[in-house]
């Protein structure tokens, strides 16, 4: 074909005589898209399934990050619970042996990072503890340092993301889950608990647990759990897993069973004992040994399955696609506003 000069081109369509225009209208047929095939049968092995192996090998080489925050009063076993979750000394107390811990006057945040490896899979684990939360006489606005820290991690990720020449893999320091420890009072949730979860559930995944559940009987534990569920529903507090983010019917069925058990009544222990010829994690009392990993004794296995074995990637996805996205939209609107 011939190359036309820019001056010879015209944006207006060429004039068409009325007779030809009527003929073209008669010849026009409605365009219908061909139905897309649901599936295509292969006549031999192609190797598409090898993509999963490629993703697995790449993930094992690169590793991944997981950031967990534990919030609660002193003496509720937060550090012990984290050590029990990952079966290693990953809490802040383990990194500072021989030091007496005193209650700080204000809420402080302390982060400890470890690299854990299991069967070739490396995970960079960051545990953020909040000593001083709820330990003062006046606990007004004690959640402000925690909210500030979470937003700072979002801001750090956003600044790396909007750079012209950004890193191939942006370091992820965002908090993926916040485990909130409720004191085992056996009554109702305190105003401090309600206000904290109401504010934090909007910016991070919150998982409430009943700490030191072995101090309650089974009847008291069930009644206390029911009261907490009523409080959360009455104050419209949406804890993880949120109903709004259930898209798949199978996921909704699984999450409904999990929501019936929340908050989990957990017991933490980092010492092993001999039970029927086996070494188990547990707490030794005069009446016997409370096995941490026994579902008949506590609900620690349910918490471990939720945080690590079944919903770890979902926690990271919701953090990135929901909480971080809402923060990013708000910040960009503020910077583009008048």
Average of per-residue pLDDT across 158-186 = 92
Predicted pLDDT at 280? 87
Domains delineated in the chain: 52-91+104-130+143-164+171-267+303-336 (3.40.50.300)
Beta strands of 246-296 (E only): which ranges?
Answer: 264-265, 272-275, 278-285, 288-291
Average of per-residue pLDDT across 232-254 = 89
Q: Which residue has the tokens 């559930």?
A: 201
| pLDDT at position 119 over 70 | yes
Please state the separation of Cα 190 from the chain's center in Å: 24
| pLDDT at position 2 over 50 | no
Q: How far is CA 31 from CA 19, 27, 197, 328, in A?
A: 23, 12, 54, 41
Q: What is the mean pLDDT of the chain?
A: 84
| pLDDT at position 299 over 80 | yes
Longest distance between any two alpha carbons in the chain, whole Å: 103
pLDDT in tens, 3-15: 444 454 444 555 5
From 17-26, 67-76, 201-210, 309-318, the region with the lowest mean pLDDT: 17-26
Give the Cα separation of 192 and 185 in Å (integer). 14
pLDDT band at 105 (very low <50, low <70, confident <90, very high): low
Predicted pLDDT at 128? 93
> pTM here?
0.81
From 53-62, 122-131, 176-185, 251-260, the region with the lowest mean pLDDT: 53-62
| Cα 145-150-152 angle, rounded to 5 deg | 90
Average of per-residue pLDDT across 178-197 = 92
CB–CB of 167/160 below 8 Å? Answer: yes
Average of per-residue pLDDT across 62-68 = 90
Give the Cα separation of 181 and 73 in Å (integer). 8
From 54-58, 80-84, 105-109, 272-276, the region with the lowest mean pLDDT: 105-109
* 8-state DSSP, 278: E
For 153, the token pair is 């991690």
Predicted pLDDT at 177? 96
| pLDDT at position 298 over 80 | yes
pLDDT band at 1 (very low <50, low <70, confident <90, very high): very low
* Greater pLDDT, 184 or 275: 184
Give the Cα separation of 289 and 281 in Å (integer). 9
Give the Cα separation of 274 and 64 in Å (integer). 35
H helices within the chain, ranges in order? 18-27, 50-62, 78-86, 92-95, 144-161, 191-200, 218-234, 249-261, 300-304, 312-318, 324-336
List Cβ neighbours of 134 (8 Å cut-off, separation of 6 or more). 72, 73, 142, 192
Average of per-residue pLDDT across 276-288 = 86
For 37, the token pair is 């095939």
Q: Which of these, 254, 268, 277, 276, lies nearest to 297 by C-alpha position? A: 268
* Greater pLDDT, 57 or 328: 328
pLDDT in tens, 244-269: 888 888 888 999 999 999 999 999 88
């Amino acid at each position: 074909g011939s190359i036309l000069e820019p001056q010879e081109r015209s944006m207006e369509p060429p004039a068409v005589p009325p007779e030809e225009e009527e003929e073209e209208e008669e010849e026009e047929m409605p365009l219908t898209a061909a139905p897309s095939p649901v599936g295509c049968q292969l006549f031999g092995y192609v190797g598409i399934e090898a993509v999963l192996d490629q993703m697995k090998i790449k993930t094992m080489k690169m590793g991944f990050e997981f950031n967990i925050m534990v919030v609660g009063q002193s003496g509720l076993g937060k550090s012990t619970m984290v050590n029990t979750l990952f079966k290693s000394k990953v809490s802040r107390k383990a990194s500072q042996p021989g030091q007496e811990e005193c209650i700080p006057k204000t809420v402080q945040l302390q982060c400890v990072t470890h690299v854990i490896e299991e069967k070739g899979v490396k995970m960079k684990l960051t545990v953020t503890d909040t000593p001083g939360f709820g330990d003062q006489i006046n606990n007004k606005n004690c959640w402000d340092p925690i909210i500030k820290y979470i937003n700072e991690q979002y801001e750090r990720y956003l600044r790396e993301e909007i750079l012209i020449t950004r890193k191939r893999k942006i370091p992820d320091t965002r908090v993926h889950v916040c485990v909130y420890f409720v004191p085992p009072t056996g009554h109702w949730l305190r105003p401090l608990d309600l206000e904290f979860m109401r504010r934090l559930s909007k910016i991070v995944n919150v998982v409430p647990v009943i700490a030191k559940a072995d101090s309650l009987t089974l009847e008291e534990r069930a009644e206390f759990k029911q009261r907490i569920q009523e409080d959360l529903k009455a104050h419209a507090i949406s804890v993880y897993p949120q109903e709004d983010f259930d898209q798949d019917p199978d996921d909704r069925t699984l999450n409904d069973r999990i929501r019936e058990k929340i908050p989990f009544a957990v017991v933490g222990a980092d010492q092993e004992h001999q039970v029927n010829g086996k070494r188990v994690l547990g707490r030794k009392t005069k009446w016997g040994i409370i096995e941490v990993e026994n579902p008949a004794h506590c609900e620690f296995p349910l918490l471990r399955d939720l945080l690590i074995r079944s919903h770890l990637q979902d926690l990271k996805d919701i953090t990135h696609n929901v909480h971080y996205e809402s923060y990013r939209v708000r910040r960009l609107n503020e910077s583009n506003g008048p």
